[in-house]
Amino acid sequence: MSSILSQEEIDALLRGTVTPNTSTNEILPDTLSDLEKDALGELANISMGSAATTLSYLLGKKVEITTPQISITNLRAIRENYPKPYVVVDVKYTHGLKGSNVLVIHTYDAGVIVDLMMGGDGSNPPLELTDLHISAVSEAMNQMMGSAATSMSQMLNKRIDISPPTLDLIDLREQDIMGGYPDSLVKISFRVVIQGLVDSEMMQLIPVPFAKDMVAELLGTNDMSKYQPKQKPVQNEFTKKAEPVSQPYIPEHKPAPETPSQAHVSVSQVQFAQLHHEMNPMNVPPNLNLIMDVSLQLSVELGRTHKKIREILELTSGSIIELDKLAGEPVDILVNGKLLAKGEVVVIDENFGVRVTEIVSPMERVKNLQ
């Protein structure tokens, strides 16, 4: 074995955390073993795959976040290697896990997200991020990290809550992005691709002690031996198929109570009987049973329109907004933003309802959810 010290060991010596007589094979408190890196990579891969799905829905563009690369770094190295101003998102875990981490995003990438969220095509991002832009990016990050926390909850088999992320525009050369945190950090690098607009890097920085806590939770609830022999294939599979699993934000809410109420409310039209016949489990892939208890958001869309920010700010009480649907035209029934069926609005007692007049097949519905 080579007697040459690695850069991490040299840094540790300079900080006084290890003596020259310490065995180089010993796992230091501020480093991660290969097993811990694999476990953390698996957790980051699945949670960020879910976050990518959510961002894709928000932007109306395909978003890909690749398999993460994990390394140990420190604040000095971060300042030297990332001198430009960045958007820094601070995420605090409040339940299930206790700790904080930050996401570091290029300002250009944040500008593209803002432009898409405000109705643009992403080709003309703002040169400078104003408070309005920061607010828009904060909402996107809130949705993304909420989805990531949900996926983490499912993987750890426990409830994971986060506080609303805080976002700042920071010059990494001059400002401390992790005040009060230990110098040694886990750096998780992701390649982020937004369809035809962005192809760059996003960083997640986690204090080593908190990263070890996350790994301990995963190792305590999962048999990591099933990940080790085929680590990369499992990551790729989750990256490609994360979307259908990661749609809901609150998986604890079971949809079971809704089914009886819908059955009582229906007016027993022929369409409903056909719908139950079409949903014969024999026509649905067997592995779909794994997600049958996941709740989905069903909404009815009367119509849409586009308005400039100026026009939105000019809206007052009594203003009329013209939609893109004609009077009497069927409304769209959406599940998690995907078209499920069309129908007509009816009144049931004192509530509005929708009578389904046209519906896609079960297999098409599954494809739409993907």
Residue 235: pLDDT over 50: no
342 or 291, which is more confident? 342
What DSSP state is assigned to residue 342? Answer: E
Residue 207: pLDDT over 50: yes
Q: What is the reported pLDDT for 367? A: 60
Share of the chain above pLDDT 90, in %: 8
Q: What is the reported pLDDT for 175? A: 63
Mind listing the pLDDT tens digit for each residue in 243-301? 443 344 444 444 444 444 444 444 444 343 333 334 444 444 455 555 667 777 888 88
What is the rounded CA–CA span in Å between residue 251 and residue 177?
A: 33
What is the rounded CA–CA span in Å between residue 270 and residue 221?
A: 47
Q: What is the reported pLDDT for 4? A: 59
Q: What is the reported pLDDT for 124? A: 87
Long-range contacts formed by 106-115: CB under 8 A, 24+ apart: 106/200, 106/201, 106/202, 107/169, 108/198, 108/200, 109/192, 109/194, 109/198, 109/200, 109/202, 110/137, 112/194, 112/197, 112/198, 113/55, 113/59, 113/137, 113/140, 113/194
Residue 60: pLDDT over 70: yes
Same fold, 32-245 and 258-369: no
Residue 307: pLDDT over 60: yes
What is the rounded CA–CA span in Å between residue 72 and residue 357?
A: 57
Mean pLDDT of the chain: 73
19 pLDDT band, cuts 50/70/90, is very low
Mind listing the pLDDT tens digit for each residue in 34-53? 888 888 988 898 889 889 98
The CA-based dihedral angle spanning residues 58, 59, 61, 64, taken in that order and rounded to the nearest 10 degrees: -70
Judged by DSSP in three states, 179 sits in coil
The b/e string for 87-111 (b: 16+ C-beta within 10 A; e otherwise) is bbbbbebeeebebbbbbbbbbbbbb
Which of 204, 203, 97 has its CA nearest to residue 153? 97
- The residues that bridge with 161 in the sheet, in sequence order, are 95
Q: Which CATH number fits domain 258-369: 2.30.330.10, 1.10.1200.10, 3.30.465.10, 3.40.50.300?
A: 2.30.330.10
Mind listing the pLDDT tens digit for each residue in 86-126? 888 899 999 889 888 889 899 999 999 988 888 888 888 88
Residue 179: pLDDT over 70: no
Query: Which of 200-204, 218-222, 247-251 has the highest mean predicted lDDT (pLDDT)?
Result: 200-204
Which of 117, 178, 175 has its CA nearest to residue 143? 117
The b/e string for 232-260 (b: 16+ C-beta within 10 A; e otherwise) is eebbeebbeebbbbbbbeebeeeeeeeee
Cα-flanking dihedrals φ and ψ of residue 105, to 5°? -125, 140
Q: What is the reported pLDDT for 169? A: 85
How many contiguous H segments (helices) and E segments (strands) does the chain have? 11, 12
Range 32-245: architecture per CATH: 3-Layer(aba) Sandwich (3.40)
Residue 143: pLDDT over 80: yes
Residue 203: pLDDT over 50: yes
Q: In what order do the strands lie in the sheet with 331-335?
A: 298-301, 331-335, 338-348, 351-359
17 pLDDT band, cuts 50/70/90, is very low
Average pLDDT over residues 339-364: 80
Give the residue extent of every domain in the chain. 32-245, 258-369
Q: What is the reported pLDDT for 248? A: 40
Share of the chain above pLDDT 70, in %: 66
Q: What is the reported pLDDT for 187? A: 92
Residue 81: pLDDT over 50: yes
Residue type, 201: E
Q: What is the reported pLDDT for 112? A: 92
Q: What is the reported pLDDT for 364? A: 66
Burial class (CB in 10 A: 0-12, 13-18, 19+), 12: buried
User: Distance between alpha carbon 150 and the CA centroid of its chain, in Å?
Assistant: 9
Residue 194: pLDDT over 60: yes
Q: What is the reported pLDDT for 188? A: 92
